[in-house]
Amino acid sequence: MSQEIIKVGKYVSLTYSICDLDGNVLEQSDLPVNYIHGGETELIGGMDRAVEGKSPGDEVSITITPAQGFGEHDPELTFTDDLDNVPPQFRQLGAEVQMQNEAGEVKSFFVTKIEDGKLTVDGNHPLAGKDLKVNVKILEVRDATKEDAMNVGIPGQTPTLN
């Protein structure tokens, strides 16, 4: 029996790590990410195109730009205020602050700096503005079942199998 390869309609299970260009691991998924290739799920930076034709056990590395990944860093999503104006529960690095705009949309911001009596929050993704290296390991490739389509599909939509 020949080994399955990734192509449209195949169920794929993989793990990945995202590193900076110096090789420092910034994010890692040891729990498998599962999707149906060519379906509704789009992987970061064209990772789905990079794994096409690969088989279980294969490893793929790609370098992605901010435009392919988490976008450019937007300075308009960074705010600094006097520490005295900030409630005590937010006065720690990494604290999550929910902010609402005039349209009622809520966005998460994170405390990224506390210095000289000032606190800075940033609404950009932590990896925005960075060139990144994505390392992928293919764990499983097989024909997708209808159950797979329901489990990895988008809620509220009926996935289609090719």
Backbone angles phi, psi at 143, to 5 degrees: -65, 140
How many CB atoms are closer than 10 A to CB 146? Answer: 10
**pLDDT value of residue 2:** 62
Q: What is the pTM of this model?
A: 0.73
pLDDT per position as a tens digit, 135-160? 999 999 999 888 887 776 433 333 33
CA dihedral of residues 146, 152, 155, 160 (deg, nearest 10): -40
Tokens 């195109």 belong to 49
pLDDT per position as a tens digit, 99-137? 888 899 898 999 999 999 999 999 999 899 999 999 999
**pLDDT value of residue 130:** 94
Question: Residue 58, Cα to own-chain centre: how many angstroms?
Answer: 21
Say what percent of the chain tops pLDDT 90.
67
What is the rounded distance in angstroms from the CA atom of residue 91 to the CA atom of residue 86?
7
Domains of the chain and any CATH numbers: 10-69+128-152 (3.10.50.40), 75-122 (2.40.10.330)
Average pLDDT, the chain: 87
